[in-house]
Structure 1
Amino acid sequence: MLNLYNWSWLLLSCNLLLLPTSTWAETDTLYKSLPSLREQARIRDTWLKERLSRIPSLLKKYGVDAWLMSQREHAEDTIWWSIKNATDYDAHRRTVLLFHTNESTLEGKPNPIKWVDNTGQVWPELLQVLEDFDPRRIAINVDQNIAFSGGLHVGEHNVIAKELGQQWIQRMVNVPLLGNEYVTTKLDTQLKYYRDMQDIVWLMMEEGFSHRNILPGVTTTEDLSWWFREKMLILNVTTWNHPRISVLTEESFPGWTGTEDVIQEGDLLHIDWGITAMGMNTDTQHMAYVLRAGETDAPVSLIQGLKKANRMQDIHLETMRAGMTGNEVLEKCLAQMKIEGIEGQIYSHPIGDWGHDAGAVIGFTNLPEHVPVLGELIILPDTYYSIELYAYHFVPERNETIRFRIEENAYWDKDTERWKFVKGRQEKLYLIHKPRETPVLEVQSEFAVSL
């Protein structure tokens, strides 16, 4: 007689036989294999060493002699996450860092000079270093507008003022572009791995938006979102935002949480998401179409809508140059769109250490023509950008004007001194055919219920 345990294994065996061969044999073997976590840590620490070595020249560029950071565990400065070792997480105790220009009495000293302390001993030692070094201008992260330059907590600032005294507080200055440039600047050696991450992202979308995972009339957008989350765990990557999957309609924007719909034939689907690996982040938006019975391609109007958004990408990359402000790029792009009769919106941002990284932004969804402060920053070379936008396009089959929302990551190409897409861009909608068998999502859920 079979008990519940034996029935469970029998059911699992039957379900495995129902799974499409491609799901188990083909798709997983096609994914790029990132280095082991141990090797990733070694690579990341090599990158970190090179990035930190550039700080003395950055200090000189911005006219400061030192850069002081102080933080406590669970209350880290924003910059901490870009200066820590790969195996560090929260800061320990109170962690104080003093970056310097490698000149005068500090030449040959560690850079940064680092204290990890919970006894207060750091302050007399820091005072002695400052007295010996005698820096005239000391940068601290107290900017009110830029997160990457405003990470010094009020409590830590108060302690610094108390322990170091007015003499040194008077020499401390806000230099917002210092942290901004440090975080946003990327290394040539990072690009290979960033491209590998893009390969993973694209293949996940190809697999997710397919008959292997979607059964029209049954599968929901939330089912698919959680499939992406589970798949990321299998591939040993994580994310900085929950995959937001929507059925696109005239009303579905901005889509911060996706929609909660049962996916039907004829739906235009959209995903907005990114993965995190090797200390870097991606951010991508693609679209898919669920074929109706008898269809072999998406309706012409949907194809045209995507092409219009592609043209906006062309305009964006043709316009964007290092040295321009984000608002200058935005203004020129909007002017060219008007000439070509394209209506839409651009809201691009730097990407890298963070999903929304340090640097100049080019529009916001709620600030479509001019962005104060962040839009006035200068676009720097050697950065990654997420080219994020939508084009309005009328779809006669639905009598709706839909936002065709796409997003791709771009890198600075030194040879051409322009930004290029890391992987490419979506120029064709993913087409979801009627499944020939029960999709993986449904087989897994059936097994779970049976147990």
Structure 2
Amino acid sequence: MDCDTALYGAKAPETLRCRRLISQREYAEDTVFRSYKPATTFYARRRTVSLFHANESSLAGSPNPITWIDITPEVWTDLDRVLEAYDPERIAINDDPTGHIAFSDGLHSGEKKAVYKALGKKWFERFTTIPLIAIEFISYRVGGEGPEGQLFWYRAMMENVWAMIDEGFSNRVVTPGLTTTTDVEWWFREKMDHMNVTTWFHPSVTRYHAPTTALEGHDTSIIQPGDMLHVDIGITAMNMNTDTQHLAYVARWEGEDVPDGLKQGLALANRMQDLTLQYMKEGKTGNLVLKEVQEQMAAEDIVGKVYCHPIGDYGHAAGSVIGFVDHQEGMPVIGDLPILAHSAYSIELSSSYLVDEWGLELPFQQEEDVHWDEDTQSWKWVYGRQEEFHMVKWQPSLVNQAL
């Protein structure tokens, strides 16, 4: 392989300041690979080495990254030739020194040894690690509102998720007294197949009913009139992922409305969403946003948990987290990363509210995805947020059949 001649003709550029070197093998891809691979490529082939550069002056119009696909030592010979010609001051590798940031630690240990051995001391002394490079690259959402951008298709995905939940939490799927939570979970999976999409986690359906607290989804958990239902669901399509949590109510008689206590619990979760977006500013750390939201919740006597995460190329994607469900004091390292604009987040949280009608304190879990809006320099819902319960309406014939 004559990389210089193939890419640049007889004369290669005189300078090239490399930004990042990615080296990976088939089925042992770097975490960044999914975010820059062509749509027609599913895995790295043989050994795939990519050299990203700054694309300065004479490099205008040159391939970026420069990529080799080979299994022979010649890949290192060609890479060394390019590095000699361009003499970069620093070569960033995806090897996080903290060991806490998965997306900035994609260089496998064996591959790292191979790179060091092949390139030698001259180049590996110039290796550096800059964790935010990988995070920014993976999290960046491209395009605007039109079909040429990711947001257009992401919004369509979210619209389909909402429609799926609305159908799944209806009499078309649920027969109170007969249908189990697991039945509904697998209905969602089958619906995804019919829609020609997949998912990055199995959907979970949970039922809540007085006088108990939560009855986790399993084969023997039969949905009953008066239940509050919860779903956590996401779909994957076009290398993008969604994450949504909604609530439903199973009516006990014809025309029954959702109990006021349940409505109030959802309203508090909506208020927590407002607060999260209010304090979630570019450049702040996730831990700072969590602290500010918690302080305002305390001022308003709201009890609940906040545990938001980036979303996009991955379900739990690259970027700063705003709390974990079991770590409301904040998260070291990944919670100290800055909030990045031009990305997407799942606003995931739950309010805790004493429902008078049931005499129980219940969690009201909500999750909706937001995107960065360039015009307003703020976060906006990709499709919307749940402010009213889905309803499984009363149908006497179905209930009598169950009895």
- TM-score, with length taken from structure 2: 0.89
- The CA deviation at 1:252 is 3.9
Matched, 1:65 2:25: no
> C-alpha distance in 2, partners of 1:138/1:248?
54
1:84 aligns with 2:37: yes
Please name the residue that 1:179 is paired with. 134
Note the C-alpha offset of 1:303.
0.8
Task: Tell me the distance in 1 between the aligned counterparts of 2:84 and 2:359.
Answer: 73
Shift of 1:319: 1.6
The question of 1:240 aligning with 2:193 is answered no
* Equivalence for 1:431: 391
Superposed counterparts of 1:3-402, under 5 Å: 65-103=18-56, 109-143=62-96, 144-187=99-142, 188=144, 189-248=149-208, 252=214, 258-260=217-219, 261-402=221-362
Alpha-carbon distance change, 104 to 419 in structure 1, aligned in 2, over 3 angstroms: closer
Q: Flag the structure with higher helix content.
A: 1
Deviations 1:208-252 (A, max 9, x none): 100111011110111001111111111111111111111136754
Matched, 1:409 2:364: no
Given residue 241 of structure 2, which amino acid in structure 1 is its aligned partner? N
Q: Give the counterpart letter for 2:64 in structure 1.
A: N
* 2:10 aligned residue: none
Alignment match, 1:28: none
Q: Which runs of 5+ in 2 are unaligned?
A: 1-16
Cα deviation digits, residues 176-225 of structure 1 (max 9, x gap): 00010011111122111111111101000111100111011110111001
Contact 2:226 2:250 in 1 (8 A): yes
Secondary structure of the residue aligned to 1:376 is coil
- For the structure 1 residues 338 and 116, does the alpha-carbon distance in structure 2 shift closer, same or farther, using more than 3 Å as the test? same
Q: Percent identity?
A: 50
Deviations 1:58-91 (A, max 9, x none): xxxxxx7331011111100010111111111111
Query: How far did 1:362 drift?
Result: 0.5
CA distance in 2, matches of 1:198, 1:286: 13
Secondary structure of the structure 2 residue equivalent to 1:375 = coil
Give the Å deviation of 1:106.
5.6
Give the superposition deviation at 1:102.
2.1
SS at match of 2:30: coil
Shift of 1:259: 4.5
| Unmatched tracts of structure 1, length 5 or more | 1-63, 443-451
Q: Secondary structure at the match of 2:272?
A: helix
> In the TM superposition, what is the alpha-carbon distance from 1:397 to its structure 2 partner?
2.9
Tell me the CA shift for residue 316 of structure 1. 1.1
Give the equivalent residue in structure 2 for 1:49.
none
Whichever residue aligns with residue 337 of structure 1, its letter is M
**Post-superposition CA distance 1:159-181 (Å, at most 9, x none):** 01111111111111111000100
Q: Give the secondary structure class of the aligned counterpart of 2:302.
A: coil
CA deviations 1:300-349 (Å, max 9, x no partner) are 11111111111111111122111111111111100000000000000001
Would the aligned equivalents of 1:215 and 1:434 in 2 still touch at CA under 8 Å?
no
Instruction: Name the count of aligned residue pairs.
Output: 374
**Alignment CA distance shift 1:417-1:106 (3 Å):** closer
Determine if contact 2:185/2:203 at 8 Å carries over to the other structure.
Answer: yes
Cα shift at 1:273? 1.1
Deviations 1:2-40 (A, max 9, x none): xxxxxxxxxxxxxxxxxxxxxxxxxxxxxxxxxxxxxxx
Preserved contact between residue 205 and residue 229 of structure 2 (Cα < 8 Å): yes
| CA–CA distance in structure 1, aligned partners of residues 155 and 32 of structure 2 | 25
Q: Which whole-Å deviations, capped at 9, do the CAs of 1:130-187 have from their partners, x for residues lacking one? A: 1111111100011122111100000000001111111111111111000100111111
Matches of 1:411 and 1:268, distance apart in 2: 29
Aligned-pair CA distance for 1:119: 1.6
Q: Secondary structure at the match of 2:379?
A: strand
Cα distance in 2 for residues equivalent to 1:108 and 1:356: 34
Taking the aligned partners of 2:382 and 2:60, their CA distance within structure 1 comes to 40
